[in-house]
Structure 1
């Protein structure tokens, strides 16, 4: 046994490059790795191209950091895809806009995140467990409910102006919208949870499962949700449920207040304030 590679019983140990702290119940990156990753990402900001070897080295650092910051796994797929466009390690690839967006997202992670990730619960918490329900109506509005707290709002007439895309607003976007709003309002209370969102739209479930979407108008929502999850240390999961089982949120999305009060008589009298669309939809200018 190599004694210099071992340590006695302790509440803080280094394991495979990650510091595990059983007293604070957290895992964290060493400061030197955090600073190194930031410097590497910044070096890519002003580059037009790089070799496949350099791109794979960057990818390796980000995947390693994702062992602690789990939501960050959503923002490496563009880098992976770009690395497959050439065969030899010395061949150059042009850094496209999607790849640059992932790099900017990671720089934001490392700027606002201190390298610490808590130990997540092994048990999955469903939205039913915490009485969390969200829903969207295609034409009327959206709503959410959490243990007596709630929000309900008609769709802003100019919401298309905020998506920065020519794509038509899809139902997947609309179903995802109240989930993001719920995370922004109540996410601070979900620390350490693996939350399984119940959704009646299969496309939205798939987007939440993968952590990203090919639709440009949906990615601003996913980026906001991912950042919210990273800052509050929770993990987003999703499963499909029939819409008929989501009555409380259905009444809120349809702006049916009398029906909502009948279904949830214990609900607060005053609703939670919904953030402005420009604050909900992630804008690259924030990076």
Structure 2
């Protein structure tokens, strides 16, 4: 057909029908429904991260090479962009390829996150449908007060009390914490899925959807969130819910456990345990 309509074909680039193909440098597997980083590229990324972490300073050229590799990995590891910003910031003000910049602790923390993730994730992403899961399947509802936090996921639920060390922590951090905790608690149930995180705190919704904040404590939680997301190939979005509609999670954050069980008898009889002490 191509000959008939005079479309040139490059035989060296032609592949017969197959369930596994390398396209634009990525390996696509239609049987496993996976997009993978080729082994040689994965090894190169790991090696570059280790080299950077073992160096006190990097030249602009080295930084740009590392950033390019991580940008490439983001094709598969899309949430990984949250761990690129502070590495990219190191290049600001460097005008010559041989100019050097000392690695900051924040940049090293981001590179450690990439290293941990690639070790467990191995550069794979499961292909999911574009349609988000229905509202009665994969939704997480959380809430927090200055004394208690809680959350509901499917038929599972959890709650906990803040200890004295949290007394001066900003409410935005307290509202973000149970979302991060829930991903860690229910990782097996959320893996390879799309989940809506419902919060009545607009600031938390913005932070999660943009995966960034100027607050260092919040960014510490964001790192935990993204690492859990990447390790479990979880696709997510945060949505705002008015407090008056966030009934179940609100009850847990007020320690109204008996009332919660009465109104939601289909939930697990006992809460999912939360390990103490709580740490950011």
TM-score greater than 0.5 by the shorter chain? yes
For 1:185 and 1:233, how far apart are their aligned partners in 2? Answer: 15
What SS does structure 2 have at the residue aligned with 1:134?
strand
Matches within 5 A, 1:78-97: 78-97=86-105
The residue number in structure 2 matching 1:188 is 188
User: In the TM superposition, what is the alpha-carbon distance from 1:234 to its structure 2 partner?
Assistant: 0.5
Aligned-partner Cα distance in 2 for 1:262–1:188: 28
**Please, which of 139, 145, 157 is the counterpart of residue 152 of structure 2?**
145
2:161 corresponds to: 154
CA contact (8 A) 1:208 1:236 kept: no
Cα displacement (A) at 1:208: 0.4
Greater gyration radius: 2
Question: Do 2:35 and 2:125's aligned partners in 1 also have CA atoms closer than 8 Å?
Answer: yes
> In 2, Cα distance between the equivalents of 1:171 and 1:125?
29
Could you tell me how far apart the structure 1 residues matched to 2:173 and 2:135 are?
Answer: 19
1:35: Cα distance to partner?
A: 0.9
**Retained in 1: the 8 A contact 2:139–2:197?**
no
Partner-residue secondary structure (3-state), 2:184: helix
- Contact 1:127/1:197 (<8 A) preserved: no
Number of residue pairs matched by the alignment: 272
Name the residue aligned to 2:20.
Answer: 12
Is contact 2:140–2:198 with CA below 8 Å preserved after alignment? no
1:74 and 2:82 aligned:
yes
SS in structure 2 at match of 1:209: helix
Structure-to-structure mapping, 1:132-281, within 5 angstroms:
132-137=140-145, 139-159=146-166, 168-277=168-277, 281=280
> Are 2:35 and 1:23 equivalent residues in the alignment?
no
**2:41 is the counterpart of 1:33:** yes
TM-score after normalising by structure 2: 0.90
Structure 1 residues 62-87: Cα deviation after superposition (integer angstroms, max 9, x where no partner): 01111112221210000111212323
Q: Which TM-score applies when normalising by structure 1?
A: 0.88
Match of 2:3 in 1: none
Shift of 1:128: 5.5
